[in-house]
Structure 1
Amino acid sequence: MNIFDRKINFDALLKFSHITPSTQQHLKKVYASFALCMFVAAAGAYVHVVTRFIQAGLLSALGSLGLMIWLMATPHSHETEQKRLGLLAGFAFLTGDVPVALDIMVFSFNSILPTAFMGTAMIFTCFTLSALYARRRSYLFLGGILMSAMSLMVLSSLGNLFFGSIWLFQANLYVGLVVMCGFVLFDTQLIIEKAENGDKDYIWHCVDLFLDFVTLFRKLMMILAMNEKQVKTILFKKKKKKKANL
């Protein structure tokens, strides 16, 4: 039997029989809004890179927080849909400034931004598809575990303000990266369950996924930046030692 004669039904890969058609339509709106957020956030990041206005990082963070609260306070209805989409776009634009501002202020390695973005996109896509293809509610048990892990990370970060341990800081970054991957699984299936129970607020559901993506991106960017800094430090020491031996 020739295994290469087997035909692969690619259409079956796009079918989610365990998700009702109405929820599938809801997910299409969610991910369409998510794509809009990514485009607007990329525009915000580009503007920040061009202007290199470092002080805008804090202003952008405060502005994005204000818009998110405004969006949260605006009820979901057909009449407010356009307004809420505008608030979502403004929130995404300002949020795109924050990781770039962090990169410029702390690391100044703009070369890692494309690598971090591509890596985040691949991780987010893989875990999203895992959540969509998995059995319904199979990852919802992660909620308690992830929140407990987040609480421990916050406490360790506060404690590290006094200890100043680089190892604890790095551990928080790597553990945070794993935790955010879990949140992608959890939030995706939670959105499905909310939609199945009648919650069709696709704009706010988009915010959940967008925040997961941004946080995951920041974690990965900081890890790559730290690794690049360590490599440059090692190379500098080797060159200095080589010159001293000549």
Structure 2
Amino acid sequence: MESYFQSQSGYGSSWNFDAFKNLHEISPTVQSHLKQVYLTLCCALVASAVGSYLHILWNIGGFLTTLACMGCMAWVLSTPPYEEKKRLGLLMAAAVFEGASIGPLIDLTIQIDSSILVTAFVGCAIAFGSFSAAAMFARRREFLYLGAFLSSGVSILFWLHFASSIFGGNAALFKFELYLGLLVFVGYIVFDTQQIIEKAHFGDLDYVKHAMTLFTDFVAVFVRILIIMLKNSMEKNERKKKRRD
């Protein structure tokens, strides 16, 4: 927190061409690590798309694929870093299961308006890239203070979901939970990116684990953007039907 306030005095001067070109204090080793992380992330997203396609073909997505995804992720974390190929394979398997798990939402979107899916993905990719870049170009540790606030946000989301499942929820509560969740996970993109950079500076170059972290952030943001756009499209169609009637 202290480093954050100290950084504000020189923050304006940090945004110049030389700083942008050199990515501030990011060393060549860390830059190489980030390239590996984002390449692995792209492969995981492709694997997730394959999982969604498999659900559309064979209707395999559901509770079991969600459990399988969580199991693969836990397996990645429990596997020693030197077993690189095994961990990478487990991450891709987790991505396929994750894609199958959100397959029903993808299928519904395609049935209503397939253009929503493309727009949501492009919007999520732009947001992800922008906030990741913000974390990279900022001073070291500048956004690490966000961790406590984001953890509080996740706790609020959990209790809201818990309360709505027991006492019932309305449309306003669902919308609040949806937008708060989007805000929280966008914040996690910034926080996790800078945390990955900071860990890499201290020698933690576990690109599989770091890519998995960013993958979960990307999917969380994408799902919420997709639901928001899908909900808006359905409400718009309902209004058009009422006008016709």
Asked if Structure 1 and Structure 2 have the same fold, meaning a TM-score greater than 0.5 normalized by the shorter chain, the answer is yes
Alignment partner, residue 4 of structure 1:
none
TM-score by length of 2: 0.86
Deviations 1:91-111 (A, max 9, x none): 111111222223446995352
Shift of 1:11: 8.9
Alignment partner, residue 87 of structure 1:
90
Alignment partner, residue 183 of structure 2:
178
Rounded to whole Å, the distance in 2 between the matches of 1:138 and 1:66 is 33
Alignment partner, residue 29 of structure 2:
22
- The aligned length equals 228
Rounded to whole Å, the distance in 1 between the matches of 2:120 and 2:101 is 14
Q: 1:106 to 1:168 in 2, by over 3 A?
A: farther
Deviations 1:63-111 (A, max 9, x none): 111111111110111xx11111111111111111222223446995352
Rounded to whole Å, the distance in 2 between the matches of 1:107 and 1:237 is 23
SS in 1 for 2:62: helix
Rounded to whole Å, the distance in 2 between the matches of 1:196 and 1:225 is 41
- 1:130 aligns to 2:134 (yes or no): yes
Q: Is residue 120–residue 222 contact of structure 2 (8 Å, CA) maintained in 1?
A: yes
Rounded to whole Å, the distance in 1 between the matches of 2:159 and 2:110 is 25
Q: Is residue 26–residue 200 contact of structure 1 (8 Å, CA) maintained in 2?
A: yes
Rounded to whole Å, the distance in 1 between the matches of 2:66 and 2:182 is 21
- 1:42 aligns to 2:49 (yes or no): yes
Shift of 1:209: 0.2
Rounded to whole Å, the distance in 1 between the matches of 2:142 and 2:43 is 29
SS in 2 for 1:140: coil
Paired residues for 1:58-137 under 5 Å: 58-77=63-82, 80-104=83-107, 108-109=111-112, 111=114, 112-137=116-141
Letter in 2 for 1:41: S
TM-score by length of 1: 0.86
Rounded to whole Å, the distance in 2 between the matches of 1:170 and 1:233 is 18
% identity of equivalent residues: 39
Rounded to whole Å, the distance in 1 between the matches of 2:78 and 2:239 is 51
Gaps of 5+ in 1: 1-8, 241-246
Rounded to whole Å, the distance in 1 between the matches of 2:41 and 2:187 is 19
SS in 2 for 1:219: helix
Shift of 1:156: 1.3
Rounded to whole Å, the distance in 2 between the matches of 1:175 and 1:67 is 28
* Shift >6 Å, 4+ stretches: 9-12
Rounded to whole Å, the distance in 2 between the matches of 1:15 and 1:130 is 14
Q: Is residue 140–residue 189 contact of structure 1 (8 Å, CA) maintained in 2?
A: yes
SS in 2 for 1:56: coil
Q: Is residue 109–residue 117 contact of structure 2 (8 Å, CA) maintained in 1?
A: no
Shift of 1:178: 1.1
Rounded to whole Å, the distance in 2 between the matches of 1:42 and 1:56 is 12
Q: Is residue 103–residue 110 contact of structure 1 (8 Å, CA) maintained in 2?
A: no
